[in-house]
Amino acid sequence: MLPHPLDQTPDRTLVMGILNVTPDSFSDGGAHDTVETAIAHGRRLLAEGADVIDVGGESTRPGAHAVSPEEEQARILPVVEALLAEGAVVSVDTMHTATARAALEVGPVIVNDVSGLVHEPDMPALIAQTGAPYVVMHNRGNPQTMDALTDYRDTVEDVVRELQEVVDRFLAAGAAPEQLILDPGLGFAKAGEQNWELLRGLDRMQALGFPVLVAASRKRFLGTLLAGPDGADPAPAERDHATAAVSAISAAHGAWGVRVHDVRASADAVRVGSAWRGASAGAPGGGAA
């Protein structure tokens, strides 16, 4: 098995910086779509306080077009190799088993798979064989269909149940429980208020016994919240203050990590949230937030 990339982590919520090596991300597509600009941005994210750099070569926004594993690998593998060589902790944002395998051959990485309930059939065996940390994200459908798959009887309980089903598949394949990280999949097959329900229900997800990653950065439900008097949503980059607020609250509730575009703001925010959580746990008559 490969060395675990998170054998030593800070005693606080981690900040995962987003590095999109794509021309069509909803937020910053094209800004870092060459190897050189992507590596440079990865270094900036590290300097701003990122604990993990999440490198992705395929947009997963609603309506995004699929990218072949070969093209995805050509985009991200040189970036992954360069950042690992500089000592960074790297995660690879991919739905493709072939890309995850290729990245793990470069070095120890976290596999961050947004495919949710319909992951590729060989992915559990790969994760079990390599011992790689794996983010189990809740999702239904694919970028073309997920916006039509938002019918839940009880959003939190349904997401928790469906995540547990995916977890069980990986455990049955031989993955160890300590490899798995849960992500409620904000914005993926979720509409408006359902995202807030999941954030309010983080403790229910944490009750499954796995670390939880919160990935709210710049997402549409934050834009809806911040809409001006004319009803227009602010541009994605104008949602960073709201993202940092979610980061602080997530840290106060014990989230394992937050995945964000603006690392500097969330690096401060998680320290505030973690300090708040620590103070609450130590207060007379208080409990963990």
Q: Could you give the residue numbers annotated as active site?
A: 219, 259
**Token pair of 35 as six digits:** 């190897």
Give 64's DSSP letter: P
Angle between helices 240-252 and 193-200 (to 10 degrees): 30
d(C-alpha 29, C-alpha 48), whole Å: 20
d(C-alpha 56, C-alpha 75), whole Å: 8
d(C-alpha 280, C-alpha 286), whole Å: 6
Say if residue 125 is exposed, middle or buried (CB neighbours under 10 Å; 0-12, 13-18, 19+): middle
φ and ψ at residue 105, rounded to 5 degrees: -70, -25
- For residue 92, what are the CA distances in angstroms to 17, 132, 221, 238? 12, 11, 25, 26
Contact partners, residue 154, CB within 8 Å, separation at least 6: none
Decide: 48 and 83 in contact? Cβ < 8 Å.
Answer: no
Decide: 92 and 80 in contact? Cβ < 8 Å.
Answer: yes
